[in-house]
Structure 1
Amino acid sequence: MIRRATEADVPAMVELVHELARYEEAPEQCHLTEQQLRDALFCPNPALFGHVAEVDGAVVGLALWFLNFSTWEGVHGIYLEDLYVQPEHRGSGLGKALLQALAKECVDRGYARLEWQVLDWNEPAIGFYEAAGAIPMDGWTVYRLTGEPLRAFSA
């Protein structure tokens, strides 16, 4: 079952994000706490939203997302930050159902697009996304300012 996340889901969601970091071979970069995720999802004006996949009462997958905006289209879109399903539940349709839930959010709200990033080496995910009809955005390179370079540039 796919549904919107609730506060009761936060501990399981944090564990799933940490599992994702381990899968992506970067566990040392994941510092998310339950309080941080709770505050982000359930504050008075949240900028982060979430859906979960549930099997037999247990949260086994998630999609965390936020709104972006296309100045060319003149409307919002959804940026998918994390999509993760535990390995033992992959192939059951839960990942597809999570992605479809976000596509439905876009269609229902009149949003122009659903976007995300995928690691170049993650062939199973790339195949999954391309099977859904997604296309890679060739010609675009992601840039990031973080840590000390971010602080230095802000000064």
Structure 2
Amino acid sequence: MHSAYARVDLLPALPEQLPLIRRYLEQLATDEGVPQARGSDAFLMQTLFGRPPVAVAHLVQAQLVGEVAASFCGLAVHSWKWGTFSGVLDMYVHALVIAPSHRGQGLGKAVIAALFDIACAQGASRLELLTTAGNEAAAAFYDQQGLLEAKHMVVRRRACAGSPGRA
């Protein structure tokens, strides 16, 4: 696929961009069939911009071929996790969303490549993410990017009493 973009950048999100971050998270919730993106603005501020931040948010900015101005068109959120056996950090991607109007033009591929470059530059052993079971389009896309299913792993979880994510 030939990209329609002359330039794609991952820019560190700023606190004043929280409304834009929320819009992308709400889009992701819609895409995943989740009724709404939970988490107050205060929670997002603490998570993304607290000291220390729990996760790192990047806004995706792209410039179309032949255009002068670039525009925001997506969001990527990641954190670092301890590599139990590797002895180094791994990048865990929590969220990757591209605005519907910009999909199918190579942006997702460019964002994954940029995140992988960040992970490797920080000395990580790998980049990991979860996909929704049964989302064959996502599985195929990530397979094409070299993100293969870890068949030896199964996610297990137990919700805390009173947790808004409990279900």
State the TM-score, normalizing by the size of structure 1.
0.86
Pairwise CA distance, 1:34: 2.6
CA shift in 2, pair 1:141/1:85, >3 Å = same
**Percent of paired sites with the same residue:** 28
Hey, what's the Cα distance between the residues in 1 that align with 2:71 and 2:18?
12
Hey, what's the Cα distance between the residues in 2 that align with 1:126 and 1:60?
22
Amino acid at match of 1:45: P
In the alignment of these two chains, the number of paired residues is 149
Amino acid at match of 2:124: Y
Query: Which of the residues 11, 16, 20 maps onto 2:19?
Result: 11
* Runs of 5+ consecutive residues of structure 1 not aligned to the other structure: 151-155
| 1:9 and 1:59 in contact (8 A); partners too | no
| 1:65 and 1:81 in contact (8 A); partners too | yes
| 1:14 and 1:32 in contact (8 A); partners too | no
State the TM-score, normalizing by the size of structure 2.
0.81
Where does residue 4 of structure 2 map in the other structure?
none
* Runs of 5+ consecutive residues of structure 2 not aligned to the other structure: 1-7, 63-68
Of 72-81 and 117-126, the range deviating more from structure 2: 117-126
Relative contact order, CA 8 A, sep 6+: which one is greater? 2
Amino acid at match of 1:52: L
Superposition RMSD in Å: 1.9
Hey, what's the Cα distance between the residues in 1 that align with 2:160 and 2:72?
32
Specify which structure has the higher proportion of helix.
1
